[in-house]
Structure 1
């Protein structure tokens, strides 16, 4: 189970890092970085939850990953503004 813990910890670190960075004004939620970190973090957390067969978190993190992927795709298609 050590592998699942490591994968899950990496995913949660990405999720919390993105959340904190957004709240502290270090990253905008409309940026590509924010939904990308959410997508990768939630995907890792989903996989870790699957490995330990904890279905409530598989569903929670899986939905989080899917919603984040939609945000990534929207962000990629959005025109960039010059600074």
Structure 2
């Protein structure tokens, strides 16, 4: 089975993980080929979606941390 290499933004590819795709055997039916290409396209979209969601989650966590730090500063000023 050939190695699958998903590119994740911000992560460098190593030379070992990048392999050229094997040639398609002549006996593979066109319907199967097109179905597999469609699945790969859907997986690419899912991978991009997960990356975007991870970025949004990180931004939200950073904002929450900043809010908590600001709240602590306010509480320190209020209580003598």
TM-score by length of 2: 0.36
User: Considering only CA atoms, is the larger Rg found in Structure 1 or Structure 2?
Assistant: 2
